[in-house]
Structure 1
Amino acid sequence: MINQARFELKASKIYFGISVFTHGCTFVSVWFFSFNLYLSLALSLILIAHFHYLNSHIFLKKSDAIQDFLLAGSTLTTTDKSNTQKQYPYVYCSYQSRFLVIINLGKRSVVVFKDSLADHSLSTLNRLFNA
């Protein structure tokens, strides 16, 4: 990785659609295949709580949500929602496709969908990791 580029992240509609579809199918199957009313209610409440928790990550509402990142050389500098910057010297791309890139930052990972980049395309990010 020789070039330097800044990528701004926004909420992903694809990730939200996948989440709605998965939670919806699970919710329907809980009520369709369950024989116990209390178990169905408990699982429904768990699904609703998980969907609410996941939406805070999808729409970048958490205080430690990464708003943008700078890729320069082999280091990646992230800026959180609270404008704190963290620098990761050893980053690598664990998954790369035309629709999704997963970047490992040690214990943390950044999932970048095709529609979550504000001003660049995902192919630019793929090229920088392949260089």
Structure 2
Amino acid sequence: MIRIGLPFPPSINSAYGNGGNKRGRHKMPAYLAWEKLAGTRIKDSHRIGLRNYTLHICLRRPDLRRSRDLGNYEKCVSDLLVAHGIVADDSGCERLLMTWDQNMSDECVVIIQQAEEQLAA
């Protein structure tokens, strides 16, 4: 099991932009900054390239005044795990659980485990 505390991820809705000075789709500055900061939280021992895995993402809800779509925060986290070699490819996610928790110290906690089916083999 790997447990990583990360800064709060950007929503996929705000992670990418189109056009401007760059042609086509590109990462927005806030997403690039998050990737850099989140990358500092990853240890070499985390880089095991899991192929079939279970992913649990728990986010500290920023506030109660604004509705937020929990599912919009998964993609940036999954892409970070691939970029840093923690998982081989995000298509290997066999099970995904996302939750809100207002009482945690980290903004985002990610737990990655070998898929249960693989553990039984």
Q: Give TM-score scaled by structure 1 length.
A: 0.21
Tell me which protein shows more helix as a share of its residues. 1
**TM-score, length basis structure 2:** 0.22
Q: Which has the higher contact order (CA 8 A, sep 6+)?
A: 2
